[in-house]
Amino acid sequence: MSGDETAAPAADRDACAGPWLAFAGCSAILGSTFLVISVGNDALAPVWASAVRLVLAAILLGIWCKLARIPFPRGDALKAAAAYGVFNFGLNFPLLYWGEKSVPSGLSAVMFSTIPLTTALLTRALGMERLTPAKLIGALIALAGVGVLFSGSFRGEIAPLGLLAVLSAATIAAIGATLLKRGPQQNPIGANAAACAIGAVIALGISFAVREAHVLPLTMPVLFPLLYLTIAGSLGAFVLFAWLIHHWPITRATYISVVVPLIALALGTVVRHERLTVLDCAGSAIVIAGLVIGMRGAAKSGH
């Protein structure tokens, strides 16, 4: 088979509207979830809120699999889904929810925009994708932006532990997505059902270990953020993302994280009246600039 013949299917996949629609849908939903997590934290303990969301998501995704006769992952697919559940849900969610108790939702989204370049480094280490000079330059610029954001914490403007928790959550999420991509291609609904179930067990364990208050979400002000995050986030965005990373190079798919902060910053300012300092704005701009440089290099190289 010639090089032209092997390149044609890849070109067809890139031109297909499906991945671009999944990309747009993920970006729109995730751009709002950072704000809704912040709202939900007003009523529920953070790790408990993440655990309840994961329990609901696992139940609903399990019902979806049953009704649609979607098989649960087995063998290597289950290993990949389990790793995704441990990192992307069991560890990432509690850290993110806890971090957003002290970090504005828009700024949290900016920290998560480091995911594409973290993923680029991980995929290179695992031999999955090439690491280009543009990715390295972008990573250094983005790292400088993160440093500017952290500099504000030294003057007491933002809690440094909160920023560290959110940045750790972003790095852990990148590990989870990379491990799912590394496994065999599988149904994204089944993969997320298994991953949410595993993540729920971990989040529940952490919540009880730190002795949070376990209030049941029975009133609408408490229930609405939880249902939105479960249905739009877990059943919507994360299913789309799990599908997308098996149809695009993962570095390109995680470029979603560059679009999300723009939406999250705007929503946080309008809805929660979150005010960012000049340093916050400068650091956010530097992070996004680094990501744009790195991801343009990834697009040009085909990875």
Question: Tens place of pLDDT for every residue, the chain, 303 residues?
Answer: 444 444 444 444 445 788 889 989 998 999 899 999 999 999 999 999 999 999 999 999 999 999 999 999 999 999 999 999 999 999 999 999 999 998 888 888 888 878 877 888 898 898 887 877 877 787 778 777 777 766 655 555 677 899 899 999 999 999 999 999 999 999 999 999 999 999 999 999 999 999 999 999 888 888 999 999 999 999 999 999 999 998 888 877 887 877 787 788 778 878 887 776 777 778 778 877 877 777 666 555 554
User: What is the reported pLDDT for 11?
Assistant: 45
Cα→Cα distances 162→21, 40, 149, 156, 166, Å: 33, 17, 12, 12, 6
Q: Which runs of consecutive H residues, i.e. helices, occur in 210-277?
A: 220-228, 238-244, 250-253, 256-271
Domain-located, residue 7: no
User: What is the reported pLDDT for 129?
Assistant: 79
| Domain span holding position 244 | 29-301
Q: Which residue's structure tokens are 């280490």? A: 125
Domain-located, residue 69: yes
Q: Is the pTM of this model over 0.85?
A: no
Domain-located, residue 126: yes
Domain-located, residue 236: yes
User: What is the reported pLDDT for 198?
Assistant: 98
Domain-located, residue 2: no
Domain-located, residue 44: yes
SS (H, E, C) 128-182: CCCCCHHHHHHHHHHHHHHHHHHHHHCCCCCCHHHHHHHHHHHHHHHHHHHHHHH
As a whole number of angstroms, the distance between CA 257 and CA 111 comes to 9
Domain-located, residue 36: yes
Q: How many structural domains is the chain composed of?
A: 1
Domain-located, residue 11: no
**Residue in 106, 77, 92, 24 with CA at minimum distance from that of residue 246:** 77
User: What is the reported pLDDT for 149?
Assistant: 66
